[in-house]
Structure 1
Amino acid sequence: MAWLLLALAIASEILATSALKLSNGLTHPGWTITVAAGYITSFTLLAQALKLQLDMGTAYAVWSGAGTAAIALIGAAFMGETLTPLKISGILLIIAGVIVLNLAARTP
């Protein structure tokens, strides 16, 4: 259940960050409300996942790393942002770091 809550927290954070770009500097009321609601939902779900005994470092690494990688890909796919080999390397390093932290959390 904790991992499901974490996945929903990541999805909410991705929605909020995407809406942040679309809000035009928080000047578009509809997108601004989406930003606020998305981040509040994301942090609430992250807090609940932590309450269910996920390691804080692992949960935060997964939440922030998955969100960062997804936003970089969304930016490239839908918002006209460039995706250079260096950026792809950075995304892969983020994913690798999250995997290592997750494996380390399982090691006694």
Structure 2
Amino acid sequence: MHWIYLCLAILFEVAGTLSMKMSEGFSKLLPSILLVVFYICSLSFLTLSLKQIEISVAYAIWSGLGIMIITLIGYMFFAEQINGLKIVSILLIIAGVVLLNLSGSAHAKEQPKTYQSGN
């Protein structure tokens, strides 16, 4: 379930970023309201995913996939340019996310997560 929460966090983050673009600097009311709602949802689902996914892995996936999806949407719908450097950068993000995920999953199986509040 925690991976579903992370996927929902990514989708809401992308929706929030698109609303940010469409709000034109908070000059349009509906996209501005949606921006806030979508980011609240995104951060809520990201927080839920952190119950089981290591923060370094979850945050890398959340931000990395968000960047990739926004880059593709920007290219397809907003006529933004994609050049070789952007493609290489996105591939490096993917490689980093995969490596973080591989390193984090082995450690997560060894030890259960426990947190203590500081006194």
Misfit runs of 4+, over 4 Å: none
Larger Rg: 2
Distance 1:28 1:99 in 2: 38
Distance 2:74 2:80 in 1: 5
| CA deviations over 1:22-74 (Å, ceiling 9, x no partner) | 110111000001100010000000001112x2111101110011001111111
Letter in 2 for 1:39: Y
Q: Please give the root-mean-square deviation of Cα atoms over the aligned residues, in Å.
A: 0.8
TM-score, normalised to structure 1, is 0.95
2:47 matches 1:50: no
5+ residue gaps, structure 2, are 108-119
Letter in 2 for 1:60: Y
Q: Which moved more, 1:7-16 or 1:83-92?
A: 83-92
TM-score, normalised to structure 2, is 0.87
| Percent identity of paired positions between Structure 1 and Structure 2 | 43
5+ residue gaps, structure 1, are none
Distance 1:73 1:90 in 2: 13
Letter in 2 for 1:9: A
